[in-house]
Amino acid sequence: MDNDEFEQLIASLGEVLALTDNGESLGGGLRLPCAIDVAATRNKTGLSQAAFARRIGVPVATIRNWEQGRRSPQGPARVLLALLDRNPRIVEETLGA
**Secondary structure (3-state) at 30:** strand
Summarised one tens digit per residue, pLDDT across range 41-92 is 999 999 999 999 999 999 999 999 999 999 999 888 998 999 999 999 998 8
Query: Considering the entire predicted model, what is its pTM?
Result: 0.70
Q: 24 falls in which pLDDT band (50, 70, 90)?
A: low
* Beta-bridge partners for 27: 30
* CATH for the 3-95 domain, from 3.90.1150.10, 1.10.260.40, 3.30.420.40, 3.30.70.100: 1.10.260.40
Q: 21 falls in which pLDDT band (50, 70, 90)?
A: very low
Q: 1 falls in which pLDDT band (50, 70, 90)?
A: low
